[in-house]
Structure 1
Amino acid sequence: MRLVITDLTEFHNPDCYCVAGINPDGACFRPTKKYFSREECTTFPIFPGTILEGDFTLRSDNEAPHVEDCRRSGVRHAGICTAVEFLDVLREDASHSVAAGFEVEGPECPKCIPKTDPPGRSIITVRVRPKACWFNIGRDGKFRFSFYDGADARYSYLPIADLKMRQYQARHDGVVSVDAMSRFLHHQKEVFLRVGLGRCHRIDSREGYWLQVNGVYSFPAWFPETRGFAG
């Protein structure tokens, strides 16, 4: 099977990264048995737009919403997408809104989808207006992202799991402000987000699957230093 990698996110274990991609039929696969190591991601290399070929088999113990979890074997690097090819993958997969992508009733998807009502998938692509999205620093000092989707539903201060964006922000903290990063997006023609659901956990009184931003992709220009793998 051939996968175009669309998600590269940090994991609790610093020696592993969570990787997901889309096959030619539009199905998403996320190897969790086993995760890709930091060393594999660096040496292959693996980053958004990388093409991998191998055997990717959905796990028999999958439960909604994490139906993309799979086993992997015989994986090899098969090239890198052009920007146009990667754009086409995102366009083809994109939903109008977060609620539509997760098939949640109503115009807005809750930040925490209840444990008792999991959606049928855990990663979607959402196309947003370039001037309707921005980076934030939350009260906790952590890197966040806010946006309006195509249904004009507002999602504020979502955690950013996107490895490359987190590395970029960390390298330039105090030099490149989140306002400057937001202005970069505002000058692009198209912006796509990979929005994911974390594993079920409780925060305060709410237990469920929490929204996070797995990927921030802009066209025609990407953020400097976020295309490729520097370790």
Structure 2
Amino acid sequence: MRIIVTDLTHFQNEDCVCIAGICLDNKVCVRPMPYLDSQVCKNSNILPGAILEGDFKPKSVVTKPHTEDYSYTSLKFLGPSSSDDFLSSLCCGLVGSIEEGFGVKLEDGQKHIPLDEAPERSIITVGVNSISIVEDKYNPGKMRAVFTDKSGKTFRYLSITDLGFYSYAKKNNTEEGRRKVNGFLRRQKVYLRIGLSREHSVGDRVGYWMQVNGIYTFPDFLEEIRCHK
């Protein structure tokens, strides 16, 4: 099976990265498990839009919402896809709103889905009416996303796990750096890959927390974000 990488996300443990991608033959979203070694990913120049070939098989036991988990024993990088194929892969998971994509009703300001409301999937693609990248006032040095989806619902201060933006933020999380990114985003058509974390608790709230796995722009992109540095 061949997939086009749509999600390349970082962990607190920077020795590994998580990827997910779409098989254009059957439109299935695949999250290869185990996670990739970050140095292997960097050496092979695996970026969003990369074509990977592997012996992917659905894991024997999966728990909602992470139904995209696939095992593999071999993985081969075949090079980058075309811009059109990458856009097609993003649109395979495109939904009109976050509520539609996860099949839940969200209160204003709600950033998680409770355990007993686990949806059928953990990754979707949404378009946005607007988006801004802001500094996390509680964690200086980190960027957060504030955006309004196509239904008009606004989501504030969602964690950005997109590896390219994470790396950019480490060097450019300044007023000037954020102004540059936000000015660029306003001139582009933006798609977000929204993912759900593994089970996690924050205070008395336990569930699956929304995060921005990918921020993708068309027709242009910022090269310093979409590269390994």
TM-score by length of 2: 0.92
Quick check: 99-108 or 154-163, which moved more? Answer: 99-108
Determine the structure 1 residue equivalent to 2:99.
Answer: 99
State how far apart, in whole Å, the 1-side matches of 2:174 and 2:213 are.
23
Q: Which amino acid aligns with 1:55?
A: D
Determine the structure 2 residue equivalent to 1:134.
Answer: 132
Deviation at 1:183, TM superposition (A): 1.4
Q: Does 1:229 align with 2:216?
A: no
Determine the structure 1 residue equivalent to 2:27.
Answer: 26
State how far apart, in whole Å, the 1-side matches of 2:97 and 2:108 are.
8
Quick check: 199-208 or 104-113, which moved more? Answer: 104-113
Within-5 A mapping of 1:45-194:
45-105=45-105, 110-129=110-129, 132-140=130-138, 141=140, 142-174=142-174, 176-188=176-188, 190-194=189-193
Give per-residue Cα distances to partners, 1:20-57, cap 9 Å, x unaligned: 1111122111112x210012201222110000011111
State how far apart, in whole Å, the 2-side matches of 1:37 and 1:179 are.
32
Deviation at 1:108, TM superposition (A): 7.1
Deviation at 1:177, TM superposition (A): 2.9
State how far apart, in whole Å, the 2-side matches of 1:16 and 1:109 are.
31
Determine the structure 2 residue equivalent to 1:207.
Answer: 206
Go from structure 1 to structure 2 and tell me whether the alpha carbon gap of 1:26 and 1:110 turns closer, same or farther (over 3 Å shift): farther
Go from structure 1 to structure 2 and tell me whether the alpha carbon gap of 1:109 and 1:194 turns closer, same or farther (over 3 Å shift): farther
Instruction: Note the residue ranges of structure 1 that are not aligned, 5 or more in a row.
Output: none
Over the matched positions of the two proteins, sequence identity in percent amounts to 38
Q: Which amino acid aligns with 1:79?
A: G
State how far apart, in whole Å, the 1-side matches of 2:131 and 2:99 are.
17
Instruction: Note the residue ranges of structure 2 that are not aligned, 5 or more in a row.
Output: none
Deviation at 1:109, TM superposition (A): 9.0
Deviation at 1:176, TM superposition (A): 3.4
CA RMSD of aligned residues (A): 1.8
Q: Which amino acid aligns with 2:103?
A: E
Give per-residue Cα distances to partners, 1:52-84, cap 9 Å, x unaligned: 011111111210001111111221111201222
Go from structure 1 to structure 2 and tell me whether the alpha carbon gap of 1:137 and 1:173 turns closer, same or farther (over 3 Å shift): closer
State how far apart, in whole Å, the 2-side matches of 1:222 and 1:117 are.
36
State how far apart, in whole Å, the 2-side matches of 1:7 and 1:176 are.
27
State how far apart, in whole Å, the 2-side matches of 1:218 and 1:67 are.
27
Deviation at 1:13, TM superposition (A): 2.2
Tell me the secondary structure at the aligned position of residue 121 of structure 1: coil
The answer on whether the counterparts of 1:146 and 1:157 sit within 8 Å (CA) in structure 2 is yes
Determine the structure 1 residue equivalent to 2:14.
Answer: 14
Tell me the secondary structure at the aligned position of residue 177 of structure 1: helix
State how far apart, in whole Å, the 2-side matches of 1:104 and 1:7 are.
22
The answer on whether the counterparts of 1:133 and 1:145 sit within 8 Å (CA) in structure 2 is yes
Deviation at 1:171, TM superposition (A): 2.0
The answer on whether the counterparts of 2:30 and 2:70 sit within 8 Å (CA) in structure 1 is yes
TM-score by length of 1: 0.92
